[in-house]
């Protein structure tokens, strides 16, 4: 659409009706050259379930396996997806956090048991967080990508790292329970469906929890579904994800974090 003068009356009404619908954001996490094959399958299958755009959380150097932006085929794939309306999001830098001596029980629980040593930005100091985020931003931009958001691995973002993200000109971040506009400081409660699949009991617990949460999300202004590559390897998990997406998309407009935050700002006059 190039402007109101190029919009027909029927399309104006269609846009108005679309604007009144609630939103659905599906995000695909841990996207990197090592996970591209499964991520590509996930994106394709979601398109068959009426989700044409996703927020793709790309790791700049996944588990120190090498720079994602130096893989030309991977970058071309991301560029094509971005051109189709998908969003590229910076997702940590290495996506892992080394264990440290003297960690208290809470720190051990969050960074080892809960995240399996992947809470990279949980307690990074400001300088290191700013260095990693700006490095990722500059690498992505140099590769012809336009990241607007930063989301920490496992949604564990310390206060110093959040400030670093804002000062690195990231537009927003998300946590497990909501979205934060880093420019305005506004918070938007919005819990996400997310799964843990590393063991049988975790998968069983995830299935039960997300079945209940999906019913709760039915009345929410924004529904979020977060998918990790291993989710697709477990039939019962993947089937529940697709069933939830099918139900949620019935009366929702699929969008991305970038576009959802932009719309919120427009409506508030920010």
Residue 268, pLDDT score: 82
Task: Give which of 21, 23, 13 is closest to 258, Cα–Cα.
Answer: 23
Looking at the domain assignment, is residue 257 inside a domain? yes
For position 125, what pLDDT does the model report?
A: 94
Angstrom distance (rounded) from CA 208 to CA 228: 18
pLDDT beneath 70: ranges in the chain: 1-20, 96-119, 270
Question: What's the pLDDT tens digit per position in 81-121?
Answer: 999 999 999 999 997 655 566 666 665 555 555 566 566 88
Q: What is this structure's pTM?
A: 0.87
* Full domain range(s) for residue 109: 23-268
pLDDT at 164: 98
214 domain residue, yes or no: yes
What was the pLDDT predicted at 217?
Answer: 87
Does a structural domain hold residue 155? yes
pLDDT of residue 21: 75
Is 90:58 a contact under the CB 8 Å cutoff?
A: yes
For residue 69, is it within any domain? yes
In the prediction, which pLDDT does 7 show? 31
CB count in 10 Å sphere of residue 103: 14
pLDDT computed for residue 14 by the predictor: 39
Predicted local distance difference test score (pLDDT) of residue 102: 61
pLDDT recorded at residue 124: 92
* DSSP letter assigned to residue 34: G
Report how many domains make up the chain. Answer: 1
Task: Express as a percent the part of the chain with pLDDT over 70.
Answer: 83
- CATH code of 102's domain: 3.20.20.370
Query: Could you tell me if residue 6 is inside a domain?
Result: no
The reply to whether 14 falls in a domain is no
Per-residue model confidence (pLDDT) at position 207: 97
User: What's the confidence (pLDDT) of residue 16?
Assistant: 42
Q: What is the pLDDT of residue 64?
A: 94
| Nearest residue to 88 (alpha-carbon basis) of 143, 167, 159 | 143
Please give the pLDDT value at position 216: 85
Q: 177-202 pLDDT, tens per residue?
A: 999 999 999 999 999 999 999 899 99
């Amino acid at each position: 659409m190039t402007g109101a003068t190029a919009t027909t009356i029927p399309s104006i009404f269609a846009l108005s009706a679309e604007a009144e619908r609630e939103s659905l954001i599906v995000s695909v996490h841990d996207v990197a050259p090592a996970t591209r094959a499964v991520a590509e399958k996930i994106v394709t299958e979601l398109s068959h379930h009426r989700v044409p755009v996703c927020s793709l959380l790309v790791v700049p150097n996944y588990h120190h396996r090498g720079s994602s932006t130096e893989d030309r085929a991977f970058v071309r794939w991301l560029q094509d997806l971005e051109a189709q309306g998908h969003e590229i999001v910076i997702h940590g830098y290495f996506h892992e956090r080394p264990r440290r001596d003297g960690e208290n029980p809470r720190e051990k629980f969050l960074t080892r048991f809960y995240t399996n040593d992947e809470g990279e930005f949980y307690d990074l100091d400001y300088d290191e967080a700013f260095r990693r985020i700006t490095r990722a931003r500059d690498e992505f931009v140099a590769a012809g990508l336009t990241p607007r958001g930063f989301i920490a691995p496992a949604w564990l973002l310390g206060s110093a790292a959040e400030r670093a993200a804002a000062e690195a000109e990231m537009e927003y971040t998300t946590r497990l329970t909501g979205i934060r506009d880093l420019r305005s400081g506004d918070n938007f409660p919005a819990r996400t469906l997310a799964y843990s699949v590393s063991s049988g009991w975790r998968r069983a617990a995830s299935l039960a929890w997300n079945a209940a949460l999906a019913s709760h999300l039915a009345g929410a202004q924004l529904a979020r579904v977060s998918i990790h590559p291993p989710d697709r390897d477990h039939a019962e998990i993947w089937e529940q994800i697709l069933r939830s997406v099918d139900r949620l998309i019935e009366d929702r407009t699929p969008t991305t974090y970038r576009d959802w935050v932009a719309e919120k700002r427009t409506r508030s006059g920010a």
